[in-house]
Amino acid sequence: MNLSVPDYILSIKPYSPGKPMEELEREYGIEDSVKIASNENPLGPSPMAVKAITDAVGNLHRYPDGGGYYLVKKIAEKFGILQGNVVLGSGSDDVLGMLTRAFLGPGDEAIMAYPSFLMYDILVRTVGAIPIHVPLKSFSNNLIAMKDRISSKTRMIFITNPNNPTGTIVSGADFKEFLENIPADIIVVIDEAYVEFVKNEECLNFFEFFDNRKPLVALRTFSKAYGLAGLRVGYGILPEKIAEFANRVRQPFNVNSLAQVGALAAIDDLEFLNKTVELVHSELDYMFNALSKRGIRWFPTDANFFLIDVGKDANIVFERMLRHGIIVRSMTSYSYPTYIRVNVGLHEENVRFIQALEKVLNES
């Protein structure tokens, strides 16, 4: 083969998916492993979503509703916005991809924090645009430095609130200041994948800023608090004009029919959502306490995951934790070579995690 691949595609660092849990268990001869590496919901999927999906499987021979009519209507009603302010995606990643395809071209610049969610970089490069990485400050999005990097080529700015992998929030006050004098042709995208977990009252509230005439977008997902990561459904909340362009580059059947009914049911499953949020907060308390008692350094969070400084090569700790049946995320590829990221699991899982980590860190 003599493939001709554009330079900007060659510049993409492939996202490494990691092996499936079953495969890891087989390789390491472990059972019953605890996966706290991907910020998933340890309670499983919303039971109401499961029921709705089960009831809908008989219609799989039909194409999905390409407009996602009922789900869009439900989301619009929930937030008191127009149906034209909602764009559905196969995960919020898909909505991110629509925004980059519709609004970025070769040579355009998109500003993002580093380290942050890896997909921004990949999707920006995919369309030949240039990612501009701005280091975090005290683990948080450095809005002042991000604003300083605006040039005549800047077309988009990504803000992750709370940030992944650090769990930090952007305050409403800082965001307000940031928005002042931002050129009107720049789209500001706030990725709110973990917003349901936030208790911090200073946290930026998107709806205080949302305006159908301003280029400000929020992304939300059913993958985390609603427990539907495998279903692939998320959405953008955006001005109608931006939504129109996003829809031009959207695959017509991007959200499958089970995802549509599952998400629709999950929105109403407040009992499950509340139970999830309560579990996350009480277990964070447990984990922080247990780590402090053992002298292990952890970092506060406003999300369902947090960072731990293990004080040695995180890849080695990852590997040793695996032998104890615990799957965590090494932060080496996020430029934190001695940090791991873990999310909250069920209480028994968190207990097992703490015990295993203590053992692993005591091995020389």
Ligand X SMILES: *Cc1c(COP(=O)(O)O)cnc(C)c1O
Query: Mask 35-74, x = binds ligand X (CB under 6 A)?
Result: ----x-----------------------------------
Nearest distance in Å: CB 193, ligand X: 4
Could you give the CA distance from residue 194 to residue 221 in angstroms, rounded to a whole number?
A: 8
Q: Can residue 234 be called a binding residue for ligand X (CB under 6 A)?
A: yes
Nearest distance in Å: CB 54, ligand X: 22
Q: Which residues are CB-contacts of 281 (< 8 A; sequence separation ≥ 6)? A: 197, 199
Q: Which residues are CB-contacts of 81 (< 8 A; sequence separation ≥ 6)? A: 210, 237
Give how far Cα 327 sits from Cα of 114, 132, 148, 293, Å: 24, 31, 39, 22
Q: Which is nearer to ligand X, 234 or 325 (CB)?
A: 234
Q: Do residues 43 and 233 lie in contact, with contact meaning Cβ atoms separated by under 8 Å?
A: no
Nearest distance in Å: CB 335, ligand X: 16
Two tokens at 200? Answer: 């911090």
| Segment contacting ligand X by CB under 6 A, of 12-20, 79-87, 88-96, 140-148 | 88-96
Strands 109-114 and 130-135: parallel
Size of the site for ligand X (CB under 6 A): 14
Nearest distance in Å: CB 157, ligand X: 15
Q: Can residue 349 be called a binding residue for ligand X (CB under 6 A)?
A: no
Q: What is the DSSP string of 182-242?
A: --TT-EEEEE-TTGGG---TTB--HHHH--TTS-EEEEEESSSTTS-GGG--EEEE--HHH
Q: With DSSP H G I counted as helix, E B as strand and the rest as coil, what are the percentages for the chain, rounded to 5?
A: 45, 15, 40
Query: Mask 149-178, x = binds ligand X (CB under 6 A)?
Result: -----------x---x--------------
Q: Which is nearer to ligand X, 46 or 164 (CB)?
A: 164
Give the angle subtended at the CA of 256 by the CAs of 254 and 262, to the nearest 5°: 130
Question: Which residues inside 90-129 make contact with ligand X, applying CB under 6 A?
Answer: 91-93, 117
Q: Can residue 254 be called a binding residue for ligand X (CB under 6 A)?
A: no
Q: Can residue 276 be called a binding residue for ligand X (CB under 6 A)?
A: no
Q: Can residue 193 be called a binding residue for ligand X (CB under 6 A)?
A: yes
| Segment contacting ligand X by CB under 6 A, of 220-228, 291-299, 327-335, 350-358 | 220-228
Nearest distance in Å: CB 194, ligand X: 7
| DSSP assigned state of 137 | B
Q: Contact residues for ligand X (CB under 6 A)?
A: 39, 91-93, 117, 160, 164, 191, 193, 221, 223-224, 229, 234
